[in-house]
Chain A
Amino acid sequence: MASIIEIKGLTKRYASGFEALKGVDLNIEEGEIFALLGPNGAGKTTMISIICGIARASGGSVTVAGHDIVRDYRGARTAIGLVPQELHTDQFEQVIDTVRLSRGLFGLPRNDAYVEKILRDLSLWDKRNNRIIELSGGMKRRVMIAKALSHEPRVLFLDEPTAGVDVELRRDMWKLIGELRQTGVTIILTTHYIEEAEEMADRVGVINKGALMLVEEKTALMKKLGKKTLTVVLADPMKAVPAELAEWHVTLHADGHEMEYIFDTQAERTGVSSLLRKLGDLGIGYKDLNTKQSSLEDIFVSLVHQEKAV
């Protein structure tokens, strides 16, 4: 498979001086679904905005389908459909008019049959003559998808497609993305939900604070991310971790009242029972136990530690 998008050393410094991207290198393969996973403010939207022509890069280069996004912007942009994060629509216009406008903007002649197909696929056909202001938020998002698909793009960017949408739309969105993939469209979506990346993506890139931390096949990543934290609420507070517990790498929290152990749910031996046994042997009493799925934040923290360790 050939790379349809090649990003090299991409940096972005906003006018405020804030460095939103710190040298990102990334290749996207044609036909894949790539999920860009990262917390709010990681730089996901900034990266998409640069590729699509909405923001300027401070350094580095990007090609889309072999076209440089600055020198050959027409070639690059023709290949791209963009559904931005925010709902931006021409409120007073009719659905079908704005979809036709989008197609024209991207240099294609009018094609009513194609526009009808898109609107039907997105359950918008009945609403085609409605003014956009009359539609619900979910419907507006569908209109934006219809606009992005109107010029038959080879690459589709979906910036947080399911943030703040209801369950039904989320399910429809996942279905639609699956169908688009069948037709060979490359899809790049951003999200801060691990489950979403898990559900749909072939590959996942994790971005934090403007730096791409890793890019992996989804299955490999899910193994890494399948971590849980065990919290042991201690009967008596502890000043330091006893040397006997070194192999579990436990940490103390809440002024020594709590002990945390991070374990891998997919591992053959999680180490939970051996830890508890050891606590019993050492005569360390505890009042409560609980486990929770590591949050994205925890995962970033552990990823950062891993990087340092390497």
Chain B
Amino acid sequence: MSLQNFHAIASIYKFELHRFRRTWLTGLLVPVITTTLYFVVFGGAIGSRMTEVDGIAYGAFIVPGLIMMSMLTESIFNASFGIYMPKYSGTIYELLSAPISATETVIAYVGAAATKSLMVGTIIFLTAHLFVDIHVAHPFAMAGFMILIAISFCLFGFILGIWAQGFEQLQVIPLLVVTPLTFLGGAFYSVHMLADPWRTMTLFNPIVYLISGFRWTFFGRGDVGIEYSLAFVAAMLILCIAIIGWMFRTGYRLKK
């Protein structure tokens, strides 16, 4: 851990947010439209037949899952592009030649990407309010959980960005792994609604623990205990930090 070049952290953070701001209209409109579509399809068409899940109105029930789904993909995409683009364009030379430590680099890039995905999460939350009544049981836990999720998935995205050697590799994990796992992870249903063996199999899906934990902050209950969710997020954070530490120590795909 080496923290002293705060000007560098601030400069990268601002520069990255500026990059997002260039496309702020699409960046903000996309989550609003996506959320609206989900409410029309799932909340309106399907929800009208389902009314309640676990004693929660279906429209409200899907909100944590919706937020989680967007935040996971946003976090991975933003953080992975943030570090992949300089690698791809060659401008990474400047980062590598600057007096900046690995810790400072990660704080700046992951901080900027996490900020953006938190903004997206917040927008979805607010948009959802237009469609359903949501009463959040543990607002501070909810905010804290969102922040933890944003950071851990941005760290994951950062790893992906360093690892990727082409745009395809960059997209493959979020699209082929994370999105399907989120769909199957109980974003739109409760794991209790499944029959075995699906129900047991679902418990091997890590995203279940995230969505369940997040749902707990909303409604005070989830598919699995909140302690499992927190343990999972903590494990992910530690694992990602360890991998990034190793990448910087060895110069993996960063330094020749």
Contact = CB atoms under 8 A, between A and B. Distances in A.
Interaction A to B = yes
Interface of A: 14-15, 49, 52-56, 73-78, 80, 82, 84, 86, 88-93, 97, 100-109, 147
Given A101-B15, A104-B8, A54 B99 contact: no
B9 to A, nearest CB: 9
Given A54-B255, A88-B90, 18 more contacts: A14-B256, A15-B256, A53-B96, A54-B93, A54-B256, A55-B255, A74-B99, A74-B101, A80-B97, A82-B97, A84-B93, A89-B89, A92-B19, A93-B19, A97-B15, A100-B11, A105-B98, A106-B8
Nearest to A77: B99
A88 B256 contact: no
A90 B8 contact: no
B173 interface: no
B138 interface: no
Given A54-B93, A86-B90, A101-B15, A107 B99 contact: yes
26 contacts: A14-B256, A52-B97, A53-B97, A54-B93, A73-B99, A74-B4, A74-B5, A75-B99, A77-B97, A77-B98, A80-B97, A84-B93, A88-B90, A88-B91, A88-B93, A88-B94, A90-B89, A90-B91, A101-B12, A102-B94, A103-B11, A104-B8, A107-B8, A107-B99, A108-B7, A109-B7
- Binding site secondary structure of chain B: helix
B128 to A, nearest CB: 33
Nearest to B11: A104
B239 interface: no
A127 to B, nearest CB: 18
B98 A106 contact: yes
Interface string B60-101: 000000000000000000000000000001110111111111
A82 B99 CA distance: 13
A100 B7 CA distance: 11
B8 A105 contact: yes
Interface string B7-30: 110111001001100100000000
B166 interface: no
B6 to A, nearest CB: 8
B251 A105 contact: no
A49 B256 contact: yes
Contact of A104 (B7, B89, B97): B7
Contacts of B8: 104-107
Contacts of A102: 94
B255 A56 contact: yes
Interface string B178-208: 0000000000000000000000000000000
A109 B22 CA distance: 24
Contact of B5 (A55, A82, A91, A107): A107
B7 A101 contact: no
A89 B90 CA distance: 7
A162 B134 CA distance: 64
A48 to B, nearest CB: 10
Given A101-B12, A105-B8, A54 B97 contact: yes
A22 B251 CA distance: 22
A97 B18 contact: yes
Contacts of A105: 7-8, 11-12, 94-95, 98, 100
A73 B102 CA distance: 12
Interface string B153-176: 000000000000000000000000
